[in-house]
Amino acid sequence: MPPRSGGENAGTGASPRSIIERSLIWLLNSRIVHSLVRLAALLALAAPLPAHSAKRPLRSDDIYRLRDVHDPERSPDGKWVAYALSTVDTTRDKNSSDLWMVSWDGTQQIQLTNTPESESSPRWSPDGKWLSFLSSRQGGDGSQLWLFNRLGGEPMRVSNVAGGIDDYAWSPDSKRLVFVVSDPDTESTKSATKRPIVIDRYHFKSDPGGYLLASHEHLALFDLESRRTEPLTSGSNDETDPVWSPDGARIAFVSKRVPGDPDRSENDDIFVIDAKPGAEIKRLTRYDGEDDGRIAWSPDGSRIAYLTGIGLPDHSYRMWKLAVISSSGGAATVLTEALDRQVIQPAWSPDGASIYMLEEDDRSQYVAKIAASGGPVERVAGDKHMITSLDIGRDGGATLLMASDSAPPELYALEGTTLRRLTHQNDAWLGDVQLGITEEFSSRSKDGWEVHGIMVKPASYIAGRRYPTLLRIHGGPSCCQDSHAFNIERELFAANGYVVIAPNYRGSRGRGAAHQRAISGGDKGKEVLDLLGAVDYAVKIGVADPDHLGVGGWSNGAILTDRIIAIDHRFKGAIAGAGSANALAMYGTDQYTPKSGTGPWQDPQKWIDRSYPFFHANQITTPTLFLGGDRDFNVPIAGSEQMYVALRSLGVPSELIIYPDQHHNISTPSYKKDRLDRYVAWYDRYVKGTTALVEGR
């Protein structure tokens, strides 16, 4: 795909962009479209086939070609699915999001917007008249609500909320919407000097949100005809994830309303409020933990499905379980309590008899369902794939996003148990590249624990030959697992001649409660045993070259990398991104203040033990590359800086890369490519023993 220009016309009036938008909306309702599509298909069949060309190895600049399909929503009549598509604008070095639509039969693809600004969160009005979205285009104060009319015309901005809209939902009668908005900044200043940041909250940092001040998120009602916005909730609590009842009389939402300081509590609950200003808020759930996730009203409005986080007695290491409660209150029923897996995104069947959900399993995520009255969980579709979005239409057909080892997420239709692909946004460039060979593997740690993971081999892999091998460690760990989903890092390493092993060590999701909670108490030793056991396995089966091993990861993957190279000298090169090795120094500087537990003064030895790599840096001999964003409040860059200085002072080859204005997740496209280039260059230099220069150095 050629780079997108950042110079699209963005003004008002009869601009080229507005002409395109009007034309596309007209085409949406035109019978001509289907005939044109059929004609194009016939012509394509009649055309001579191009000569076959050999596929090329994946390159780092292929990251610019990734097209991210997200936020799908099917129209009320079931004929179309709207979605957002994020691409890279290389001219401006930014990510951009536009709106697209695909017909339910998959024959028609229509791009609705093509602007330098981004459009996101497409939503259909229940009457099918409007397609709404959020955008800050044309100088909006944050993200505002815009509407496309199905009958044609340009989109129009209909809201003017100070600070913008964070989330929204349509009422069933299509006359009102509920917004999630933040408290306005009442202080104003004409001075160019920024005001001092005043902190008075216990939880005062968030990545990428930054410093958390006194502002909170609240619900507001918006009347479409009058364009009037009225507050629905207020106060010192946050309200999120609003969903209208089927009759439009009530709104359910998530909030943390506890005695004392909400920042010190993990107790989110589901609440309901009448959809009118001044209404009383009613608490539904009573579990002393997290009740959260996507709220789903039953079709008759009598029940609400939601997720409840069942964990250890201190609520740590929680797994999401599906629960149902009467919308008028009462005792909740946990439907998947016996299922030793996490589930997310509940959605009712149109008849209210079943609840669909996504079930997280070993290296995959599937569509599953359960009777609304309870019973066994039935797997529906998605073997060895990663499904990340699920929505059930009025006819029972579902739309979902599904990724595989060989393709990023694309939009699919699910009818019964049959999956049908709707979008092909990444096919063009993927058809040109040679991907690696992805396999599952199982290994055993020294203490006997069984570990499952993903192994990616070069496309040219020859059985019986040993290859330089990289142990790549995912972050989290309790939020994550390495799965059957396209991973450009693993593919790039394989394209450069490496075997990649990605183990789901203890603490990872997908293997049940015992596997996830085995590291409770902060014992990193078990995680290290699992990771080194996977390396031993790769060497034992004759795949990994024991003289050419590398290790690395991001976040917790970097934290574990630091620990591994402090105790194991087999690795010739290491990469630690957004990590830390000195837990003492992280206390109070990262976003995890509410989860810090007892302070270092109460058990100093515990904190020193958790800081093992830093206090044993003199044992490290592995050349290590450290990276991070200078605005990271998740794992602050100080963690990388400290280890870099430690190794440099000890004479160990090391380098520190700091990405300006970046948070925990690097977002600027050119920085993403730069990071990939540095990964390959570092491993080539120290693991392979060859020299590869990063572009521009």
Q: Where are the alpha helices (DSSP H) in 219-302?
A: none
Q: What is the pLDDT of residues 52-77, one digit of tens each?
A: 458 999 999 999 999 999 999 999 99
CATH 3.40.50.1820 residue ranges for the chain: 436-688
The pLDDT of residue 594 is: 76
The pLDDT of residue 186 is: 54
Q: What is the pLDDT of residues 512-529, one digit of tens each?
A: 999 999 998 777 899 999
Mean pLDDT of 409-417: 97
Q: What percent of the chain has pLDDT over 70?
A: 90
The pLDDT of residue 185 is: 66
Of the pLDDT bands very low, low, confident and very high (cuts 50, 70, 90), residue 697 is very low
Q: Is the pLDDT of residue 1 over 80?
A: no
Q: What is the pLDDT of residues 611-642, one digit of tens each?
A: 999 999 999 999 999 999 999 999 999 999 99
By C-alpha distance, which of 577, 611, 537, 533 is closest to 682? 577
Of the pLDDT bands very low, low, confident and very high (cuts 50, 70, 90), residue 191 is low
8 Å CB contact between 385 and 402: yes
Per-residue b/e over 223-259, b at no fewer than 16 CB within 10 Å? ebeeeebeebbeeebbbbbbbbbeebebbbbbbbbee
Q: What percent of the chain has pLDDT over 90?
A: 76
Q: Is the pLDDT of residue 326 over 70?
A: yes
By C-alpha distance, which of 561, 680, 686, 687 is closest to 697? 680
Please enumerate in sequence order all residues whose Cβ is within 8 A of that of 457, keeping only pairs 6 or more positions apart, or say none.
436, 437, 439, 467, 494, 499, 543
Query: Worst-scoring range by mean pLDDT, 175-189, 262-276, 428-442, 678-692?
Result: 175-189
The pLDDT of residue 187 is: 54
- Beta-carbon count within 10 A of 660 CB: 9
Predicted TM-score (pTM) above 0.85: yes
DSSP secondary structure code for residue 289 in this structure: S
Rounded to whole angstroms, the Cα distance separating 176 from 225 reads 8
Of the pLDDT bands very low, low, confident and very high (cuts 50, 70, 90), residue 50 is very low
End-to-end CA distance of the chain: 27
Helix or strand (DSSP H, E) at 38: helix 32-46
Mean pLDDT of 35-49: 37
Rounded to whole angstroms, the Cα distance separating 198 from 212 reads 10
Mean pLDDT of 653-679: 98
Rounded to whole angstroms, the Cα distance separating 554 from 559 reads 8
Mean pLDDT of 258-267: 82
Q: Is the pLDDT of residue 30 over 80?
A: no
Rounded to whole angstroms, the Cα distance separating 34 from 27 reads 10
Burial status of residue 606 (CB atoms within 10 A of its CB: 0-12, 13-18, 19 or more): middle
**Nearest 5°: phi and psi at 687?**
-90, -50
User: CATH assignment of 436-688?
Assistant: 3.40.50.1820
Mean pLDDT of 9-22: 37
Of the pLDDT bands very low, low, confident and very high (cuts 50, 70, 90), residue 28 is very low
The pLDDT of residue 312 is: 85
Query: Worst-scoring range by mean pLDDT, 171-175, 202-206, 319-323?
Result: 202-206
Query: Worst-scoring range by mean pLDDT, 137-141, 201-205, 352-356?
Result: 137-141
Higher model confidence: residue 215 or residue 579?
579
Mean pLDDT, the chain, whole residue set:
90
Q: What is the pLDDT of residues 528-575, one digit of tens each?
A: 999 999 999 999 999 999 999 999 999 999 999 999 999 999 999 999
Question: β-pairing, 119-124 with 130-135?
Answer: antiparallel
Please enumerate in sequence order all residues whose Cβ is within 8 A of that of 20, keeping only pairs 6 or more positions apart, or say none.
114
Q: Is the pLDDT of residue 448 over 80?
A: yes
